[in-house]
Amino acid sequence: MDDSAVLKLRGYTAGIMVGEGSYAKVKSAFSERLNCRVAVKIIDRRKSPPDFLQKFLPREMEILAVLNHRSIVKTYEIFESSLGKVYIVMELCTQGDLLEFIKSRGPMPEDVARKLFYQIATAVKYCHDIDIVHRDLKCENILLDQEFNIKLSDFGFARRLVHNSNGKMLLSETFCGSPAYAAPEVLQGIPYEPKIYDIWSLGVILFIMLYGSLPYDDSNIQKMLRVQKQHHIDFPCSKHLSSDCKDIILRMLQPDVHRRLTIDEILNHVWLQPLSKAKEDKANQDKAAHNSEAQKKIQTTLEEKRFQERLLQQDQAKKETKAPTK
């Protein structure tokens, strides 16, 4: 039974091919149940390497099943066919990925980059807060929906943090992701803290959003590593960036893992404060509106209760008036 037939049995009408790899492909489809187009990632177990099947795929499926955030691609359903193919039905992001967006439209103005990067950072914070690390953050894995909102995707290298019996977090040793986005400790093969690795990748992503190019030349990995460890970043003079913007990039691309920003420090950085404050103000407005509405409901209930009491009193008075005298 081919993929179209399998999908049809589950209520999906297969569409065009969106992407294809060595042992997985992504097709668009229409869901009768959801009444919308979706993306279906199809993984063929027969063509997949043992390490992927035993370690990475089970992790990805388990993590996708629990993720629920507005800036992360939504997973609707995961099922498997009798032929050993895994089907992951996800939200379809029609505007492509962030790298395609930058290539077609060029580097972003600082205000636009700030808005989109804030969405990326909130998605990463959500993951880190529930002890999930992505380990493959890059522009190609950040998608855009119809309204150009950020949707973090591809959790193929993601994992849950593991702690020992003393509660101490165990370091990762697997090289994950792309060299251009990899932190110095990862490139050197040093056991690393995956949350801190994610932060480095965020720094590379923000630089690309603003300049349309990598912060480091990745054609020579050893040379790139030396430059990274010197904490040297060449900000092209062709574009003016605020000092706050340069500061957050420098602090995310900090080779010293003990001095690199955490995701909370990123979201609290002065460069992102306009958006953080706007979010806080909206939350306060929503809370005030909710409280006002609740107060109105209470007031209405009290007025209705008083009205009912008056009716009862009037009814009682009428009964007493009509009562026969003895």
Per the annotation, where are the binding residues for ATP?
41
d(CA 17, CA 20): 8
Beta bridge partners of 88: 41, 78
CA neighbor of 73 nearest in space, from 153, 154, 158, 159: 153
- Residue-level length of the chain: 326
Which residue in the list 44, 129, 131, 136 is annotated as catalytic?
A: 136
If you compute the radius of gyration of the chain from its CA atoms, what whole number of angstroms results? 27
131 is catalytic: no
Tokens 């849950």: give the residue: 160
Tokens 């790139």: give the residue: 224
Catalytic residues: 136
